[in-house]
Chains A and B, each alone.
Chain A
């Protein structure tokens, strides 16, 4: 995937994308090395398995409690934030969110925005929107800065540029940042990037950030980061606009403590991040710094669809740590771009259908061997394989079948061929006499086994029935004995 300029990969082309990613040996190597590193880091951050499991249960309980009270908590959050001087805006769709943000920037006649990392703004493709309306948005998170420079989308929710090699970054910097010599020294590269970004904070009209936890009790926006760029974005420009999904609200400040610990340890094996920002108001009378205006944009974008179903609601427990992708054997082999969605990997497979509809994502829930590695590490115990199976069911459900909470794109993965195949299968395997006849025929006619078995013989020798089934062997043995 060396020098891609394409930024959007429609998820309908998932299989093609995956195939080309699999053929990219450099990418495969980068991903494997990075994921091995992240898995090892996570493991070392949880030396005590009991503590880990206790903490995960706590994380799950907190997230489920907060989701159960979501409507009330959102109201409380709005009231508290407003009382604190932070203005709250509601957006149902990405387009609405972008318009709100653009409107706010226009009010100040803003031309330059610096951005901290925000996956929700990736979801709305905010940068494109602003660019088209005369506002330059510069990513300030080092990984985001790199992918923006490369004209790509993040490939990982925590490490946006994890697919890039040192050499690729060195080349990008030397070609795009004026007066920059080619260097593969990581520290030097970071310094080059930081320097280029530093003066932008001073010039920027607006700072845009995401939110990790929005605390209803106190009206506080918590922002977790390592580079200090988040603090710069949220404190230096006169206006700070935060954007996040409606599910990010937590009830109490004390809920943040265990979730924060789970987040950083699961994500990169860090006990705590270098920066933890708690934003509770704009600059107050007599204060010397801080933004004069703070806004929060709360985006739905399909989340209420997941919320409506008690099983699928668990999807919203996610705290975006990325551990599920780090441990996913599929993600490790194809990387984030192949998914063609904002959120890749296991979390992407279960949330994207709500964001984009099953009609655009029907390949994603099937792109898993259901190995369960994701569910095993998820810090808030989202049963990801169970969610995947449920989404497969909704994707296979006839489009006209009536259900209580139909998903957008219900039946999108259904094909006549496959539905018939399962009905035939049921007819054969579901009745003992048919099944025995089938076993008998398969073993006796094994010489006629097709040598071309679609999908299977691409990687394997043909599946060939044994000369006798277990049923037959047992029957013969019994006959001999009596």
Chain B
């Protein structure tokens, strides 16, 4: 079953996609669904039809990075048949995108689904990358002047090489000043099961990240990764911080451009 939006107007630009799949990721699905809806709204506003295969669940990453590739493969396998058309598969999370693009080929090497997994991997594109580089998104910023910090996930930075795309999108907002935070390229300490297997170390890392974001002079921060957001926001809330929090990039961009009331 596919939820699509056949009524949207499709841009006539050559090479401009008409349709995309959205892979929502399990974390976002359950804990941050609004960000997923916001990503859809942003894409639709650009004239793209967004298809959300309703049978999707998870890319398999949690088990894969925990040393259980068999379980990861079974879960990933359940996703492989959901994207039959040749459309791009947009993923609003750098780490899940990284799993699909870079680890699915390894995970399915030598398996019957190898060719399919490789073909899908090649079509996976991270959300901010898609917005910037495929759509050349040109926003009209309607928000008040604000300073904002950007936290890029390590997968986005080092696996997908898309950390600069989040910056570039934020920089296209006319009234937003992007501020740099201390040790910006450093990991927030999430790392999936790392955060629960080594809570002392992970806790020290997220404490430092939360501090440096707060001390950056920004009023809020954005990230295109739900794992990092849950980690940093969860820490800020645990410390009783009510004024400073992070938003998913999609939500932030939509708010700034008048797409959300």
Measuring CB to CB, which residues of chain A are less than 8 angstroms from any residue of chain B?
15, 18-19, 22, 329-330, 333-334, 365-373, 375-376, 389, 391-397, 413, 418-419, 422-423, 425-426, 429-432, 435-436, 439, 442-443, 453-461, 463-466, 468-475, 477-478, 481
Contact of A334 with B201 in the complex, beta carbons under 8 Å:
yes
Interface centre among B63, B67, B189 (most CB of A within 10 A): B67
Please give, as numbers and ranges, the residues of chain A lying within 8 Å of B199 by CB-CB distance.
455-456, 458-459
Size category of the B interface is 35 or more
Q: State whether A426 and B75 are in contact (beta carbons under 8 Å apart), knowing that A367-B201, A439-B29, A471-B29 are contacts in the complex.
A: yes
CB distance from B27 to the nearest CB of A (A): 9
Please give, as numbers and ranges, the residues of chain A lying within 8 Å of B63 by CB-CB distance.
422, 425-426
Please give, as numbers and ranges, the residues of chain A lying within 8 Å of B75 by CB-CB distance.
425-426, 429-430
Does B13 belong to the interface (CB within 8 Å)? no
Across the A-B interface, give the 9 residue pairs with the lowest CB-CB distance, nearest first: A369-B191, A455-B196, A460-B234, A392-B67, A371-B187, A396-B67, A432-B55, A372-B158, A371-B154
Please give, as numbers and ranges, the residues of chain B lying within 8 Å of A330 by CB-CB distance.
201, 205
CB distance from A354 to the nearest CB of B (A): 17
Q: Can you sample 30 A-B contacts with CB below 8 Å?
A: A18-B201, A365-B67, A366-B198, A367-B194, A367-B198, A368-B194, A369-B190, A389-B64, A392-B65, A392-B66, A395-B67, A419-B68, A422-B71, A423-B71, A425-B75, A426-B71, A429-B75, A430-B71, A430-B74, A436-B54, A455-B195, A456-B234, A459-B199, A460-B230, A470-B24, A471-B24, A472-B33, A473-B36, A474-B52, A477-B37
Beyond A369-B189, A372-B154, 11 additional contacts (C-beta under 8 Å) are A368-B194, A392-B67, A393-B69, A395-B67, A429-B58, A430-B75, A459-B234, A460-B235, A461-B237, A463-B230, A474-B3
Does B243 belong to the interface (CB within 8 Å)? no
Chain B, 158-189, CB within 8 A of any chain A CB:
158-159, 185-187, 189
Q: Which residue of A lies closest to B5 (CB)?
A: A481
Measuring CB to CB, which residues of chain B are less than 8 angstroms from any residue of chain A?
3, 5, 24, 26, 28-34, 36-37, 40, 52, 54-58, 62-69, 71, 74-75, 77-78, 154-155, 157-159, 185-187, 189-207, 230-231, 234-235, 237-238
Please give, as numbers and ranges, the residues of chain B lying within 8 Å of A442 by CB-CB distance.
30
Please give, as numbers and ranges, the residues of chain B lying within 8 Å of A365 by CB-CB distance.
67
Contact of A368 with B191 in the complex, beta carbons under 8 Å:
yes
Bound-complex Cα distance A461 to B5 (A): 37
Contact of A463 with B158 in the complex, beta carbons under 8 Å:
no
Please give, as numbers and ranges, the residues of chain A lying within 8 Å of B230 by CB-CB distance.
460, 463
Bound-complex Cα distance A422 to B70 (A): 10
Q: Which residue of B lies closest to A428 (CB)?
A: B57
CB distance from B193 to the nearest CB of A (A): 8
Q: Which residue of B lies closest to A413 (CB)?
A: B67
Please give, as numbers and ranges, the residues of chain A lying within 8 Å of B201 by CB-CB distance.
18, 22, 330, 333-334, 367
Q: Which residue of A lies closest to B55 (CB)?
A: A432
Please give, as numbers and ranges, the residues of chain A lying within 8 Å of B207 by CB-CB distance.
459
Please give, as numbers and ranges, the residues of chain B lying within 8 Å of A466 by CB-CB distance.
30-34
Bound-complex Cα distance A458 to B207 (A): 12
Bound-complex Cα distance A465 to B27 (A): 9
Please give, as numbers and ranges, the residues of chain B lying within 8 Å of A470 by CB-CB distance.
24, 28-29, 33, 36-37, 52
CB distance from B202 to the nearest CB of A (A): 7
Please give, as numbers and ranges, the residues of chain B lying within 8 Å of A429 by CB-CB distance.
26, 57-58, 75
CB distance from B33 to the nearest CB of A (A): 4
Contact of A329 with B205 in the complex, beta carbons under 8 Å:
yes
Contact of B203 with A458 in the complex, beta carbons under 8 Å:
yes
Bound-complex Cα distance A206 to B154 (A): 48
Contact of B52 with A389 in the complex, beta carbons under 8 Å:
no
Contact of A459 with B37 in the complex, beta carbons under 8 Å:
no
Contact of B238 with A459 in the complex, beta carbons under 8 Å:
yes
Bound-complex Cα distance A470 to B38 (A): 11
Contact of B234 with A463 in the complex, beta carbons under 8 Å:
yes
Bound-complex Cα distance A392 to B68 (A): 8
Please give, as numbers and ranges, the residues of chain B lying within 8 Å of A334 by CB-CB distance.
201
Q: State whether A471 and B71 are in contact (beta carbons under 8 Å apart), knowing that A329-B187, A426-B63, A466-B31 are contacts in the complex.
A: no
Bound-complex Cα distance A430 to B63 (A): 12
Please give, as numbers and ranges, the residues of chain A lying within 8 Å of B3 by CB-CB distance.
474-475, 477-478
Q: State whether A426 and B33 are in contact (beta carbons under 8 Å apart), knowing that A329-B205, A460-B237 are contacts in the complex.
A: no
Please give, as numbers and ranges, the residues of chain A lying within 8 Å of B203 by CB-CB distance.
458-459
Q: Which residue of B lies closest to A423 (CB)?
A: B71
Contact of A430 with B78 in the complex, beta carbons under 8 Å:
yes
Please give, as numbers and ranges, the residues of chain A lying within 8 Å of B206 by CB-CB distance.
459-460
Contact of A371 with B191 in the complex, beta carbons under 8 Å:
yes
Q: Which residue of B lies closest to A459 (CB)?
A: B203
Q: Which residue of B lies closest to A391 (CB)?
A: B67
Please give, as numbers and ranges, the residues of chain B lying within 8 Å of A373 by CB-CB distance.
154, 158, 185-187
CB distance from B57 to the nearest CB of A (A): 4
Bound-complex Cα distance A425 to B155 (A): 23
Contact of B65 with A370 in the complex, beta carbons under 8 Å:
yes
Bound-complex Cα distance A329 to B189 (A): 8
CB distance from B259 to the nearest CB of A (A): 15
Bound-complex Cα distance A185 to B186 (A): 33
Contact of B198 with A18 in the complex, beta carbons under 8 Å:
yes
Contact of A369 with B71 in the complex, beta carbons under 8 Å:
no
Contact of B200 with A461 in the complex, beta carbons under 8 Å:
no
Contact of A461 with B238 in the complex, beta carbons under 8 Å:
yes
Contact of B198 with A435 in the complex, beta carbons under 8 Å:
no
Contact of B74 with A426 in the complex, beta carbons under 8 Å:
yes
Q: State whether A431 and B78 are in contact (beta carbons under 8 Å apart), knowing that A22-B204, A368-B194, A459-B202 are contacts in the complex.
A: yes
Interface centre among B5, B56, B204 (most CB of A within 10 A): B204
Contact of B54 with A475 in the complex, beta carbons under 8 Å:
yes
**Residue in B57, B198, B238 whose beta carbon sits within 8 Å of that of A430 in the complex:** B57
Bound-complex Cα distance A372 to B191 (A): 11
CB distance from A203 to the nearest CB of B (A): 45
Contact of A366 with B158 in the complex, beta carbons under 8 Å:
no
CB distance from A94 to the nearest CB of B (A): 28
Bound-complex Cα distance A239 to B248 (A): 65
Bound-complex Cα distance A244 to B145 (A): 61
CB distance from B100 to the nearest CB of A (A): 15
Please give, as numbers and ranges, the residues of chain B lying within 8 Å of A397 by CB-CB distance.
67
